[in-house]
Amino acid sequence: MPGFVLRRILKSVLVVLAIVVCNFLLIHAAPGDPATVMAGQSGAADPQYMEQLRRQFGLDQPLTTQLWIYLRGVLQLDLGYSHRQQAGVAGLIADRLPATLLLTGAAFLIAIAGGVTAGALAARRAGSWADSLITVIALAFYATPLFWVGLMLVLLFSVYLEWLPSFGMSDPGLALTGPALWWDVARHLVLPAVTLGLFYLAVYARLTRAAMLEVLDQDFVKTARAKGVPEGRVLRAHVLRNALLPVITFAGIQAGQLVGGSILVETVFAWPGIGRLAFEALLARDYQVLMGVFFVTSVVVVLFNLLTDVLYALIDPRVEVA
Amino acid sequence: MNLTRRNLLAGAGSAPLLLSAQEALSQGAQPKRGGVLNIILNPEPPILQIGVNNQTPTLICGTKITQGLLKFSPSLDPLPELAKSWTVSPDGLEYVFRLQENVKWHDGRPFTAEDVIYSVMTFNREIAPRLRGVLSGIGEAAAPDPHTVRFVLKQAFQPFLLCFDATALPIVAKHIYDGNDIRSNPANARPVGTGPFRFVEWQRGNFVRMERFDDYWKPGQPYLDGILWRVIPDGQSRRLAIQSGQVQMTTATDIEPFDIPALRQAPNLNVTTRGWEYFSPLFWFEVNHRVKPFDDKRVRQAMSMALDRNFIVNRLWFGLGKAATGPVASTTRFYEADAKLPPFDVSKARALLDEVGLRPNAQGIRGSFKYVIPPYGEIWNRMGEYFRQAMRQIGFDVTLESTDAGTWGSRVANWDYEATSNVLYQYGDPSLGVERSYVSSNIQKILFTNTAGYSNPKVDELFAKARVAATEADRRAAFSEVQKILVDDVPLLWVVEVNYPTVTDKRLHNAVQLGTGDHACYDDVFLS
Amino acid sequence: MTGLLRRFTRHPGAVIGAVALLLVLALALLAPLLFPGSPWDMAGAPFSPPGEDGMLLGSDSLGRDVAAGIAYGARVSLMVGAVSTIVSILIGVALGALAGYLGGVVDDAVMRFTEFFQTIPSFVLAILLVAIFTPSITSIVAAIAIVSWPPVARVVRAEFLSLRGREFVQAAEVLGKRPLSIVLTDILPNALSPIIVLASLNTASAILLESSLSFLGLGDPNLMSWGFLIGSGRSVIRIAWWMSVFPGIAIFITVLALNLIGEGLSDAMNPRLRKRGAP
* Residues of C in Cβ contact (< 8 Å) with A26: 128-129, 132
Contact check, Cβ <8 Å, A32/B234: no
Q: How far apart are CA A117 and CA A204, in angstroms?
A: 9
Q: How many CB pairs under 8 A join A and B?
A: 159
**What 3-state DSSP class applies to C273?**
helix
Chains that touch A (3 or more CB pairs under 8 A): B, C
Whether B24 is covered by a domain: the verdict is no
Name the residue facing B404 among C47, C62, C131 (closest C-beta). Answer: C131
Pairing state of beta strands B282-287 and B419-424?
antiparallel
Which of A10, A133, A148, A198 is best to mutate for the C interface (most C CBs within 10 A)?
A: A148
Residues of C in contact with B256 (CB under 8 A): 235-236
Asked if residue B507 belongs to a domain, the reply is yes
Q: Which residues fall within 8 angstroms of residue A152, CB to CB, at 6 or more apart?
A: none
Gap between the Cα atoms of B84 and B69, Å rounded: 8
**What's the angle, vertex CA C94, arms to CA C93 and CA C100, rounded to 5?**
80
Q: Which whole number is the average pLDDT over A284-295?
A: 81
Nearest to B495 by CA among B284, B223, B235, B246: B284
Sequential DSSP letters for C3-63: HHHHHHHT-HHHHHHHHHHHHHHHHHHHHHHHS-S-TT---S-TTPPTTGGG-TT-B-TTS
The torsion angle over the Cα atoms of residues B220, B221, B224 and B230, rounded to 10 degrees, is -160
Q: CA C25 to CA C99: how far, in whole Å? A: 36
CA proximity to B162, closest of B465, B431, B449, B447: B431
Residue B128 has pLDDT above 50, yes or no: yes
Domain assignment present for residue B425? The answer is yes
* Cβ within 8 Å of residue B451, ≥6 positions away: B286, B288, B412, B413, B415, B443, B444
What pLDDT score was predicted for residue A318? 53
**Where residue B149 falls among pLDDT bands split at 50, 70, 90?**
very high
**Secondary structure class of B451 (helix, strand, coil):** coil
In this complex, the chains that touch C, judged by 3 or more CB pairs closer than 8 A, are: A, B
Residue C271 lies inside a defined structural domain of this protein: no
Residue B8 has pLDDT above 50, yes or no: no
From chain C, pick out residues whose CB is under 8 angstroms from the CB of B258.
Answer: 47, 61, 235-236, 239
Q: How far apart are CA B62 and CA B473, in angstroms?
A: 36
ipTM exceeding cut-off 0.85 for this assembly: no
Q: Is residue C163 part of a domain?
A: yes
pLDDT band for position C2 (cuts 50, 70, 90)? low
Domain-located, residue B300:
yes
- The residue that leads in pLDDT, B495 or C273, is B495
* Pick from A63, A33, A30: nearest CA to A50: A33
Tell me the residue length of chain A: 322
Average pLDDT of span C197-213: 89
HSE of B211 in the Cβ direction (CA atoms, 13 Å)?
6
DSSP class of A160:
I
Best mutation target, A12, A136, A151, A244, to test chain C (most C CBs within 10 A): A151
Task: Check CB contact under 8 Å for A46 and B38.
Answer: no
CA dihedral A111, A114, A119, A124 (to 10 degrees): 160
Average pLDDT, chain A: 79
**Alpha carbon distance C130, C134 (integer Å):** 6
DSSP state of A78: -
B256 in C contact zone (CB under 8 Å): yes
* Count of CB atoms situated within 10 Å of the CB of C126: 26
The pLDDT score that the predictor gives to residue B16 is: 38
Interface touch C239/B388, C-beta < 8 Å:
no
Q: Give domain status of residue C165, yes or no.
A: yes
Domain count, chain B: 3
Query: Is residue B245 domain-shared with residue B391, that is, in the same domain?
Result: no
Distances in Å between the alpha carbon of A153 and those of A103, A190, B255?
16, 10, 22
How confident is the model over C117-144, as a mean pLDDT?
A: 86
Q: Are residues B338 and B455 in the same domain?
A: yes
Between CA B75 and CA B83, with CA B80 as vertex, the angle to 5 degrees is: 140
Phi, psi dihedral angles at C111 (to 5 degrees): -65, -35
Number of B/C CB contacts below 8 angstroms equals 60
Q: Please report the pLDDT score of residue A317 as a whole number.
A: 54
Question: pLDDT tens across A120-155, in order?
Answer: 888 887 777 888 888 888 888 888 888 888 888 887
Q: Are B69 and B169 in contact, with CB atoms under 8 Å apart? A: yes
Indicate if B137 and B160 belong to the same structural domain. Answer: yes
Residues 207-246 of B with CB under 8 A from A: 207, 209, 228, 230-234, 236-237, 240-241, 246
| Domain limits, chain A | 1-89, 94-315
State the Cα–Cα distance between residues B394 and A39, nearest whole angstrom: 35
pLDDT at B19 over 60: no
C223 pLDDT higher than 70: yes
Q: Which residues in chain A have their CB less than 8 angstroms from residue C118's CB?
A: 253, 256
- Dist. CA B37–CA C235, nearest whole Å: 26
Q: What is the pLDDT of residues B80-106, one digit of tens each?
A: 999 999 999 988 899 999 999 999 999
Chains that touch B (3 or more CB pairs under 8 A): A, C
Question: What's the whole-number mean pLDDT along residues C132-143?
Answer: 90
DSSP character at residue B257 = G
Say if domain A94-315 classifies as CATH 3.90.740.10: no
> In whole angstroms, what is the distance from residue B366 CA to residue B296 CA?
15
Cα separation, B47 vs A87, in Å, equals: 10
Q: Is the dihedral of CA A67, A69, A71, A73 positive or negative?
A: negative
H/E segment holding residue C102: helix C66-102
Q: In this structure, are B512 and B486 located in the same domain?
A: no
The verdict on a CB contact (< 8 Å) between A256 and C121 is yes
Q: What is the pLDDT of residue C46?
A: 80
β-bridge partners, B422: B284
Residue B28 and residue B20: Cα distance in Å, rounded? 12
Cα four-point dihedral sign B469, B475, B481, B487: positive
pTM above 0.95, yes or no: no
Q: Confirm if B125 and B236 have CB atoms less than 8 A apart.
A: no
CB contact under 8 A, A44 and B130: yes
Backbone angles phi, psi at B96, to 5 degrees: -120, 125
The CA-atom distances, in angstroms, between B217 and each of B19, B199, B518 are 24, 17, 20
In B48-138, alpha helices (H) = 56-62, 113-118, 124-127, 132-135
Which candidate, C243, A284, C77, places its Cα nearest to that of B382?
A: C243
CATH value at residue C120? 1.10.3720.10
Q: pLDDT band at residue B12, thresholds of 50, 70 and 90?
A: very low
Looking at the complex, report in whole angstroms how far the Cα of residue B372 sits from the nearest Cα belonging to chain C: 10
Residue C200 phi, psi (nearest 5): -65, -40
pLDDT in tens, C16-62: 999 999 999 999 999 898 888 888 888 778 888 888 777 888 888 88
Query: Could you say which of B36, B127, B233 has the minimum Cβ distance to residue A276?
Result: B233
Nearest to B385 among C40, C220, C235 (CB): C40
Is C62 a domain residue? yes
Q: Which helix (H) or strand (E) holds A87?
A: strand A87-88
Which residues partner with B41 through β-bridges? Answer: B231
Assess if residue C93 is contained within a domain: yes
Distance from CA of A18 to the nearest CA of C (A): 8
B425/A43 touch (CB, cutoff 8 Å), yes or no = yes
Q: What does the DSSP 8-state code read for residue A313?
A: H
Cβ-contact B150, B142 below 8 angstroms: yes
Q: Does residue C17 sit within a domain?
A: no
Residue A266, pLDDT above cutoff 50 = yes
C-beta of residue A282 within 8 angstroms of C-beta of residue C126: no
CA nearest to C127 within chain B: B404
For residue C257, what pLDDT is reported?
92
Q: Is the pLDDT of residue B463 over 70?
A: yes
B378 vs C46: CB contact, 8 Å cut-off? no
* Residue numbers in C near A246 (CB within 8 A): 276-277
Q: Are residues B328 and B202 in the same domain?
A: no
pLDDT above 70: residue A5: yes
Residue B78 lies in a domain: yes
Stretch 51-90 of chain C: residues touching chain B, C-beta under 8 Å: 61-63
Distance in angstroms (rounded) separating the CA atoms of residues A318 and B172: 70
- Check CB contact under 8 Å for C220 and B316: no
**Mutate: best of B48, B49, B53, partner A, most A CBs <10 A:** B53
**Average pLDDT across chain C, whole number:** 84
Q: Check pLDDT > 50 for residue B10.
A: no
Domain identity same for B84 and B116: yes
Q: Does the N-terminal peptide bond of residue B43 adopt cis geometry, omega within 30 degrees of 0?
A: yes
CB B401 within 8 A of CB C221: yes
User: Which of the 8 DSSP states describes residue A234?
Assistant: I
The span from the first CA to the last CA of chain A, in angstroms, equals: 8
DSSP letters spanning A265-277: HHHHHT--SHHHH
End-to-end CA distance of chain B: 13
* Enclosing domain of residue C147: 28-263
Distance from C-alpha of C152 to C-alpha of A303, rounded to nearest angstrom: 24
Q: Which residues of C touch B243 (CB under 8 A)?
A: none
Distance CA B156, CA B153 (A): 6
Residues B472 and B438 in one domain: yes
pLDDT of residue B21: 41
**For residues A187 and A227, what is the distance between their CA atoms, to the nearest angstrom?**
49
**Section C237-262 average pLDDT:** 86
Q: Best mutation site among C139, C232, C235 for testing chain B: the one with the most B CBs within 10 Å?
A: C235
In a shared domain, residues B374 and B486 = yes
Q: Which helix (H) or strand (E) holds B229?
A: strand B226-231
The CA R_g of chain B, rounded to the nearest whole Å, is 24
CATH number, residue B135: 3.90.76.10
| Mean pLDDT, rounded, for A235-252 | 72
Chain A residue nearest residue B424, CA to CA: A43
- How deeply is B284 buried, as exposed, middle or buried, from its count of CB atoms within 10 A (0-12, 13-18, 19+)? buried
**Ramachandran bin of B125, using left for φ above 0, alpha for ψ from -120 to 50, beta for the remaining angles:** alpha
Rounded to the nearest 10 degrees, what angle do helices C104-119 and A241-269 cross at?
Answer: 40
Q: Is B399 an 8 Å CB contact of chain C? A: yes
Q: Are residues B371 and B423 in the same domain?
A: yes
Q: Which of B318, B402, B410 to mutate to test the interface with C (most CBs of C within 10 A)?
A: B402
Interface membership of C208 toward A (CB under 8 Å): yes
Domain that holds residue B147: 66-178
Alpha carbon of C235: minimum distance to chain B alpha carbons (Å): 6
Interchain contact, B231 vs A280, CB within 8 Å: no
Average of per-residue pLDDT across B487-513: 95
Q: Tell me: the pLDDT tens digits for B25-78? A: 445 568 889 999 999 998 888 889 998 888 889 999 999 999 999 999 999 999
CATH code for the domain in which residue B393 is found:
3.10.105.10
pLDDT in tens, B192-236: 999 999 999 998 878 999 999 999 999 999 999 999 999 887 777
Query: Nearest-CA distance from A177 to chain C in Å?
Result: 33
Facing B206 at nearest CB: one of A40, A166, A172: A172
- The predicted structure's pLDDT at residue A2: 65
B441 touches chain A (CB under 8 A): no
The span from the CA of B442 to the CA of B431, in Å, is 13
Nearest residue on chain C to A301, alpha-carbon basis: C119
